[in-house]
A and B are shown apart, each in its own frame.
Chain A
Amino acid sequence: SLPAGSWVPSVTPQDILYRGILRDSCTSQPLPVLPTQLSHFFVDHPEDAFGSLGKLLHQNFYLGDSKLRVSVHSGLPPCSGCPRKNLVPRLRWFSHLARDWLFEVPLGLLADCVHEDLLLQWASLLFDDSPTGGALAWLPPKDVGARTGRLVYPGGQAMNHLYFQDVVLEELPCARGSPAQFELNGRIRQVAAARADGEDFVGVRSDYHCGVWRVPGRTGAAPTPLQVIRTSVPASCLTVSPHLPGELAVCTQSGAVYLWSVETGLQRLRHDPQTMFFRDHSPWRWSDFTAHPRVLSCADRTGLQCLDTRVSPGGCHFDLFKVGEEAGCQQGERVVLPMYLGRAYPSQHLVTTQFSVYVLDERLPLVPVLKWAHMMKAPPLFAHLTPGGPGRSHKVLLGASRTQELLLLQYRGEKRGALGVLWGRVSSVPTSQPPCCRDRLPPPPRPRSVLMSPLLLPTGLAAALQEDGPRESLLIFQLSEAGDVFCQKLTHQAAAQPPAPTPGDKAPSPAAALRYRRWLKAFSKVCGQPPRHTRPPTFGQKRLFTRKELEEPSAPSALQGQARRWLRQAMRDGGCLQRWDPPPSALPEPPEPAEDPDPLSARLTASWCGDWDGWWEGRMSSSLAQRQRALRERRRRQKRARGRRSLSASFTSSLTYQSELSELSDPDTAPPPRREASPPLGTSPPAAATPPSPEEALLSSQSLRSRGIPKERRKTLRDYLAVWADGPPEPPELPGSQASQLCIPSSQSQLSSASQPRRKRPRMGF
């Protein structure tokens, strides 16, 4: 609706949102109360508000001979022009919007109108769907091997000129000749093209007009405009039929879908202001062609339907895609851009939403053949399909406007018409730096800030496939908001060969396997014992230790080497390592209460059981009988506590993995903790094994708590054990009493090692 030829910069968030003066008075409300604001404006800036009108009307009024006096209002200097003219860009915008009609409209009404418009502007700032489809089209060369194609794009200050530019694909594409140019009656929103019968048909959509051009097959022939239609409601979609020459599909924001044939005119297929599957506010509609030339797909934000044009409106249709459960959609997910993939597979469609890309097959509607999360920040508004030849993958480019994202998808099906599709390698191409520019002259290098400016936001996307023998490259053209065309070249590189798998771990041939099985059967018969088919217990070492911990130390120490040699020797002999056999007296035994334990261990035992107070009292009291009674009671309590502890341990371990269960039930097969720092030389009996690392296993407050030790005792115990840890590194020659004392924690070391994975369970959300 803007006059052609005058360039108006598009709205920026700063134009609508108030950051400056009004921030203090209405921070709670993003939009100020407009009548108040307007009256402020009239009072504060009378020159700006009334000056132009006054100048215009000046000649027609006779104001008498006396000199005109300007009464200056409250402190504002009588300067000409707004003092904040350069500072506040929104005023520029505001005055542009309002200067023509501001004085004729009552303030209240005006405020309502402007408010409504600002809401619309704001909505389109957040997500503008009017450029959906993109305003750039690439008409590929007519013959195989030819190098001259054509770019169709809008230009001019109001983007109301349509250009057809011949482009020669060389190392870098360059424009040839001057473009054919057409001036149109409005801003061009979308340029769509398709080839039918060897001729290109280009559809151009602006808000209230749609036009179609024919580009003849001969190179250099001038494009001819065929027809223009006018719509009363802004059109939201225009697609060109790949099947029949001169057929297009048009949608308007009122919910009407038309099949537009140049020969027969418009045929309305549907008129429904409501959305198809559930209610959505968006008036956006889209339509595209399908494998059947008489069946059109029709989309809104809630899904896709197929309409048969041969029957009466609303007669025959089927649902192709529904936002909802069948497709596994997210809440709030909406269709953003559908596309017919006919040039790759005749019956497939691409549907993009804010979150995902779906491939649908008309023959199996509602169930997507493929779903893939595209991870783009903004919804893709442009899509371009470059079909690959036989044995080559098809390439789909998705582009977003505001975030300047570009995504290249490659996919490949099994055979023509097959349902299965496989996505190939996917790479995202953020094009914050378009490497080369349009027209014959490459652009001067621009700083990054300029490139990121809104004038360079893409509003169109097209691609051309360039084949030089085996080398294949993809030229990506992008149209910026200011009308520049950028080009980017992606060249295919053969992937580096992965290193060949090492020979040696080849699977045996089936025949060999069979022979082996026979042999095994015969063998087991001889042995009189059926082979057990139970799987050996598996151990999840990865979950117990990190990779770093499992790593071999760089060089084994001499002691380790010796230990290994002994081990190997013992294994070869089939004997056991006599040298390390502990004396039978070293076997753990329960503490003897009859014996007089040394004071430290008694105190420790007591504190371990949480009865330190009792111990202290017992020690203080002189009566022997009292002490004996106390001891007996302590033992009882100790037993009870141990029973409780083992019960809880078995309960929690039943929740863990099966592999851990097997570890628990069969502690002998548990892998020894591979902490090679201190070789466990003197601890061969498994029950008496020292805890793997007492500092870690015992000192953590968690494990202490799990043993029922009250908080105030923990520090004592920790200090005590810290003394142990700091002590001499060779504990093999333990005094008998100490060894017997240690057996309580050591009998738990099994538990603690088994409960270590239990501590990891929060990773699964506990």
Chain B
Amino acid sequence: MDSFLEEEEDDEEAAAATKNAAVGSALLPALHLPSLPPHLYQPGKGRAVGFPAKSKEVCLSYIQDAMLRKQWKRAAEFLTFYIESLEKDFSTEYMGPSEVIWRIGAEILCHRFHNNMKEFSSFIEQMKTLGVKRYLKVCLEHAFHLLCNGQIDEAYQNLSLAESWRFGEQTAIQDKEMKLIQAYRGLLDYYSWSKQKNILLEHGQDGLEDLSVEQEMHGCFRKAAMNLKEIIKIPGVWDLFVKCYVDLLEFYGDYSEAREVLNEYAYNSKFPANPNAHVYLYQFLKRHGESKKSLLSALKILHDIVPSHELMIDFHIMLQKSKKRKKRRLGLEVIFAVLDYAGWKENVKAWSCLARQVKQIVISEKHLDWIKQEWDPRRDWWPAFHFSRYSAKRNWQENESLSYEKALVAGILLGKGCKAQVKRFRILKKFLNKHNPVYLRLSGLSDSSVQP
């Protein structure tokens, strides 16, 4: 971040300098562009726009053209020409030719040889040697490619090899990438652990104990746990690793450690606010039969972060069952908030939850103010968002039960103004007629609140 700021200050100074200097800075684009269009280079300024740079560019465009037409052979031929540009690759550009060759070459090989692993591996080996900065990145991607092709052992070996790689003093980025490589190796250890676990579980019922398999499994566990533990200490989003680590710990009965890991992952303020962390915590608590209170508190935080999460339906139902008035009040808030989001617009479950609670409140004629408090901020946009004539028609065509739930809610909230929603349901009409005063009170309350 600091570097960006510094750069800005530099620019500022340049702008504040003499007029000539301002002219100079204005010649640079306002945005740092990947490559300046060649016709905009200044003539006579002696910039290097010679033939090589141009031919390089043309070559690259030919490669792209060939790739577009799926002429992989032609693309590969052009790429071999392009590789010559590496010799003079002093570019400080973000995406230098070596990176271009790596990416394009991988793409071509994948298509030309239909994932011939041998060819691909030898290509990648060469790519690894092209740049120190990219070595670990290429290793990791190679491992992913091997994994995608089911070569798990090779991927593991690859990661181990990458792990033993050292270059000079480790920079911070290298350190991070190394941690990532270790973590993925841990993940593969976890994979073989769970495979052996399944073997044991399948064949353990025969009464045959097998110590060597078990020992090997423990070995995998140790290696996996060590590597996974390391990475989840660093602030970041490590959903996959955390899940695997918790699974390992749970299998060996180390619940306190698992809980600590999940709590740390969810509540440590250094980590990005990750809704999944709270989901995992909630699921863990649920698995171990924790009290309702702790479950609710976990979900409450999730509600604060992501009001539109799938678990909010569970949260609402749990709150509904509660005897406390405050919690039922929160339940109404939760279900209203869920339906604010476009993704939930046509969710029958959510609408039926809302309809049920609203109906309860209306029948009991208690806490009508709750509905009013929720409805007031939505009064100006829910009708257009949920209860338009068009959506009523479409809902009716596509999903009748959704249409029914929505009509009930609309009838209560909008009163007579929602003919489009209600006209098809006779029973609903009766219900609404019976409780018409409710709507009057709802609107009346709102009117009185507006008046002063």
Q: Which residues of A does B touch, CB under 8 Å? A: 13, 17, 19, 23, 27, 29-31, 119, 122-123, 125-127, 129, 197-199, 242-245, 264, 278-282, 291-294, 301, 310, 323-326, 330-334, 336, 342, 346-347, 354-355, 363-367, 373, 375-379, 402-403, 416-417, 419, 427-430, 496, 498-499, 510-511, 513-514, 517-518, 521, 538, 542-543, 547, 657-658, 760, 763-765
Task: With CB as the reference atom, state the residue of chain B lying closest to A318.
Answer: B273
Within 8 A of A (CB), among B284-336: 305-306, 308-310
Please give, as numbers and ranges, the residues of chain B lying within 8 Å of A199 by CB-CB distance.
390
Contacts of A365 in B (CB 8 A): 272-273
Please judge, given known A-B contacts A127-B29, A281-B11, A430-B61, whether A294 and B135 are in contact too, CB under 8 Å.
no
Counting CB contacts under 8 A, is B164 at the interface? yes
Question: Closest 5 A-B residue pairs measured CB to CB?
Answer: A332-B32, A346-B343, A763-B129, A498-B114, A126-B29
| Chain A positions within 8 Å of B343 at CB level | 291, 346-347, 416-417
- Bits for B1-19, please: 1 = Cβ < 8 Å to A, else 0: 1011101110110010000
Q: Which of A125, A264, A279, A498 contacts B115 (CB 8 A)?
A: A498
Q: Are A364 and B237 in contact (CB under 8 A)?
A: yes
What residues on B are CB-neighbors of A760 within 8 Å? 129
CB of A403, distance to nearest CB on chain B (Å): 7
Interface pair B61/A379, CB less than 8 Å apart: no
Q: A123-B29, A126-B40, A331-B4 are in contact. List 19 more A-B contacts (CB 8 A).
A: A19-B43, A29-B20, A126-B28, A126-B36, A243-B342, A293-B385, A294-B381, A347-B343, A375-B100, A378-B37, A417-B310, A430-B61, A430-B68, A498-B115, A510-B203, A513-B199, A657-B161, A763-B129, A764-B167
Q: Which residues on B are within 8 Å of A, measured CB to CB?
A: 1, 3-5, 7-9, 11-12, 15, 20, 22-23, 26-37, 39-40, 42-44, 61, 64-65, 67-68, 94-95, 99-100, 103, 114-115, 122, 125, 129-132, 135, 157, 161, 164, 167, 195, 198-199, 202-203, 210, 212-213, 236-237, 272-276, 305-306, 308-310, 340-343, 377, 380-381, 384-385, 388, 390-391, 394
* A17-B42 contact, Cβ under 8 Å, with A326-B272, A377-B34: yes
Provide the bound-state CA to CA distance between A254 and B283, in Å.
Answer: 48
> Smallest distance from the beta carbon of B392 to chain A beta carbons, Å?
11
| Pair B212/A123 contact, Cβ less than 8 Å | no
> Can you name 26 A-B pairs with beta carbons within 8 Å?
A30-B23, A31-B23, A119-B22, A122-B26, A126-B30, A127-B30, A129-B31, A244-B385, A279-B5, A279-B8, A281-B11, A293-B342, A324-B1, A331-B32, A346-B342, A354-B32, A367-B272, A377-B35, A430-B64, A498-B114, A513-B199, A517-B210, A657-B161, A658-B164, A764-B132, A764-B135
Given the complex, which residues of A lie within 8 Å of B388, measured CB to CB? 197, 245
Provide the residues of chain B in CB contact with A403, threshold 8 Å. 37
Q: Are B30 and A323 in contact (CB under 8 A)?
A: no
With a CB–CB cut-off of 8 A, which chain A residues contact B115? 498
Which residue of the partner chain, among B44, B275, B340, B385, contacts A364 with CB atoms under 8 Å?
A: B275
Is A293 touching B5 in the complex (CB atoms < 8 A)? no
A contact residues around B15 at 8 Å (CB):
281
Nearest A residue to B198 via CB reads A510
- Residues on A with C-beta less than 8 A from B198 are 510
B213–A514 contact, CB under 8 A?
A: yes
List, in ascending order, chain A residues with CB within 8 A of B377's CB: 310
* A46 shortest CB reach to chain B, Å: 30
Q: For residue B110, which residue of chain A has the nearest CB?
A: A425
Q: Which residues of A are found within 8 Å of B135, using beta-carbon distances?
A: 764
Q: Considering the chains assembled together, what is the distance between the CA atoms of A452 and B72 in angstroms?
A: 26
* Complex CA distance for A530 and B350, rounded to whole angstroms: 63
B32 pairs with A333, CB closer than 8 A? yes
- The docked-state distance in angstroms from the alpha carbon of A293 to that of B383 is 12
A510 touches B33 (CB 8 A): no
* Nearest CB in chain B to that of A335: its residue: B31
Pick the contact of A521: B27, B35, B212, B341 (CB < 8 A). B212
**Known A-B contacts A331-B4, A517-B213, A765-B167; A375 and B95 likewise in contact (beta carbons under 8 Å):** yes
Q: Pick the most buried of B157, B202, B341: most chain A CB atoms within 10 A of its CB.
A: B341
Query: Given the known A-B contacts A330-B94, A428-B67, A511-B203, are A291 and B341 also in contact in the complex, defined by CB atoms under 8 Å?
Result: yes
Contact between chains at B114 and A363 (CB < 8 Å): no
On whether the beta carbons of A363 and B34 are closer than 8 Å, the reply is no
Collect the chain A residues with CB atoms within 8 Å of residue B67's CB: 427-428
Beta-carbon contact of A336 and B31 below 8 Å:
yes
CA distance A84 to B64 in the complex (A): 42
Q: A122-B27, A281-B11, A364-B272 are in contact. Are A324 and B384 (CB under 8 A)?
A: no
The answer for the CA separation of A210 and B99 in the assembled complex, in Å, is 43
Q: Which of B27, B199, B306 contacts A363 (CB 8 A)?
A: B306
Please determine whether B203 and A354 come into contact, CB atoms closer than 8 angstroms: no
> Do A280 and B8 contact each other (CB < 8 Å), given the known contacts A375-B100, A427-B68?
yes
**What is the CA–CA distance of A587 and B28 in the complex, to the nearest angstrom?**
74
B343's nearest neighbour on chain A, judged by CB, is A346
Of A245, A354, A499, chain B has the most CB atoms within 10 Å of the CB of A354
A281–B308 CB distance below 8 A: no
With contacts A430-B68, A517-B210 taken as known, whether A334 is within 8 angstroms of B31 at the C-beta atoms is yes
CA distance A373 to B104 in the complex (A): 12
Task: Flag if A278 contacts B5 (CB, 8 Å).
Answer: yes
Q: A279-B12, A324-B4 are in contact. Are A30 and B31 (CB under 8 A)?
A: no
CA distance A565 to B198 in the complex (A): 48
Q: A331 contacts which chain B residues (CB < 8 A)? A: 3-4, 7, 32
CA–CA, A98 and B33, complex, Å: 32
When chains A and B are docked, how far (Å) is the Cα of A427 from the Cα of B1? 33
Residue of B nearest to A23 (CB): B44
Q: Which residues of B contact A334 (CB under 8 A)?
A: 31-32
Contacts of A30 in B (CB 8 A): 23, 27, 42
**Are B1's CB and A355's CB within 8 A?**
no
The answer to whether B384 touches A244, judged by C-beta atoms less than 8 angstroms apart, is: yes
A312 to chain B, nearest CB (A): 13
Q: Do A375 and B68 have beta carbons less than 8 Å apart?
A: no
- How many angstroms between the C-alpha atoms of A377 and B391 in the bound complex? 44
Q: Smallest Cβ distance from B445 to chain A, in angstroms?
A: 20
- Tell which of B9, B68, B306 has the most Cβ of chain A within 10 Å: B68
Report whether A293 and B381 are in contact in the complex, using a CB–CB cutoff of 8 Å. Answer: yes
Inter-chain contact B44/A325, CB cutoff 8 Å: no
- Closest CB of chain A to B20's CB: distance in Å? 7
The chain B residue sitting closest to A275, CB to CB, is B8
Known: A244-B381, A373-B95. A17 touches B64 (CB 8 A): no
**Please, which residues of chain B bring their CB within 8 A of the CB of A379?**
31, 33-34
Closest residue to A659 on the B side, CB-wise?
B161
Interchain CB contact (< 8 A) of B210 among A347, A354, A428, A514: A514
Contact partners of A428 in chain B: CB under 8 A: 64, 67-68
Pair B32/A292 contact, Cβ less than 8 Å: no
A125 CB → nearest B CB, Å: 7
Known: A292-B340, A430-B65, A765-B167. A245 touches B384 (CB 8 A): yes
Q: Which residue in chain A gives the minimum CB-CB distance to B203?
A: A514
Tell me the nearest residue of chain A to B308, going by C-beta: A291
Q: Are B30 and A123 neighbours in the complex by a CB distance under 8 Å?
A: yes
CA distance A243 to B333 in the complex (A): 21
Whether B33 lies near A378 (C-beta < 8 A) is yes
B114 near A378 with CB under 8 A, answer: no
Q: What are the residues of chain A within 8 A of B161 when measuring CB–CB? A: 657
- Bound-state Cα–Cα, A336 to B29, Å: 13
Interface centre among B26, B30, B202 (most CB of A within 10 A): B30
Query: CA of A29 to CA of B40 in the docked complex: distance in angstroms?
Result: 16
| Cα separation A764 to B68 with both chains bound (whole Å) | 33
Chain B nearest Cβ from A156, distance in angstroms: 28
> Once the chains are docked, how many angstroms separate the CA of A10 from the CA of B394?
48
Measured between beta carbons, the chain A residues less than 8 angstroms from B276 are 364, 419
Q: A125-B40, A292-B340, A510-B202 are in contact. Are A197 and B391 (CB under 8 A)?
A: yes
Cβ distance B412 to chain A, nearest Cβ, rounded Å: 21
- In the assembled complex, the CB of B89 is this many whole angstroms from the nearest CB of chain A, namely 13
Chain A residues lying within 8 Å of B203, measured Cβ to Cβ, are 510-511, 514
* In the complex, chain A residues whose CB is within 8 Å of the CB of B308: 291-292, 347, 363
